[in-house]
Structure 1
Amino acid sequence: MKRVLIVDDAAFMRMSIRSMLSNHDFEVVGEAENGLMAVEKYKELQPDIVTMDITMPEMDGLQALREIKKIDAGAAVVMVSALGQEARMKEAIIYGAKGFIVKPFKEEIIVAALSKL
């Protein structure tokens, strides 16, 4: 069972992703509402996968991705963002994201993306 950290500033989105993953072979080990918390939770929980929103307060997802990659170069981070963020998604891939999912998404899309990791 893969252990997942969900990072999104919207509680509804975290709850939605948690619900989708719980129906499959994933264990949600933690949640964070901004990039700063994501980095701390990553150190604490050492999840197998992180779903990371791009636009968040305090520290955005791209900066959090870079910080997590400094801690663990092999970290599996999948960016989750709204339409219109294509340029930032490309930047995330350059920084080492393993993939990206565009909101709104269906359960089978996120499950398929995370199952590949």
Structure 2
Amino acid sequence: MAGPRRDLSALSFLVVDDKVFMRELVRAMLIGFGVENIITKSDGLNIGRSIDQNNIDVIILDWMMHPFSGLQVLKNIRRVDFAEATIPVIVLTGHADVQCVNEAMGAGADTVLSKPVSTKLMFLTINTLITATREFIQIGNYLGPITRAHREMMNADDLELVDEIDE
């Protein structure tokens, strides 16, 4: 059963992809969902300015880009000193192998979708992301969603603490 549906028309999206075709494809999907404010960029240069000036609610980010990779862009977004560090980020990739997905999620992606992505999956992902309760963590210079790696670290630390108490 699907969760609550949200009207996407009031949201602002930033689509970052170095391929014109993909930017336009994602833009067309978002327009089909009723989104009116869509900003597109061919790279992650000055992404902070784009987010601030356009009150961006969600970022859709390509993983394999030049000159800045999706990893570099995502790490810049998830910096503790970045005002919008907790903004939802959907990563799109044509290389959705386990290593790529783990790297993206570990860097703070909220979700990773494999290209080509269907319109239905894109809508469901966005709807879930904007209606779900998101948990955040700050560790060092990172501020963003709690990742599987963070949970595993916390579970390991909790287990060590339990072991110390039992001794």
2:111 is the counterpart of 1:102: no
2:12 is the counterpart of 1:3: yes
Deviation at 1:58, TM superposition (A): 1.4
Q: 2:78 aligns with which of 69, 86, 89?
A: 69
Contact 1:6–1:28 (CA under 8 A) maintained in structure 2: no
**CA deviation string 1:31-90 (max 9, x = no partner):** 111122434422332311000001111111111011112212211111000034431221
Give the unaligned 5+ runs of structure 2: 1-9, 130-167
2:25 is the counterpart of 1:13: no
Structure with more contact order per residue of length (Cα contacts < 8 Å, sep ≥ 6): 1
User: Which 4+ runs in 1 deviate beyond 6 A?
Assistant: none
CA distance in 2, matches of 1:18, 1:47: 14
Give the unaligned 5+ runs of structure 1: none
Q: How many residues align?
A: 117
2:56 is the counterpart of 1:47: yes
Q: Max radius of gyration: which structure?
A: 2
Cα distance change on mapping 1:12 and 1:28 into 2, 3 Å: farther
Q: Trace 1:80-95 onto structure 2 (pairs within 5 A).
A: 80-95=92-107
CA distance in 2, matches of 1:69, 1:91: 14
CA distance in 2, matches of 1:87, 1:38: 25
CA distance in 2, matches of 1:44, 1:85: 34
Moved more, 89-98 or 37-46: 37-46
Deviation at 1:111, TM superposition (A): 1.1
Deviation at 1:27, TM superposition (A): 3.2
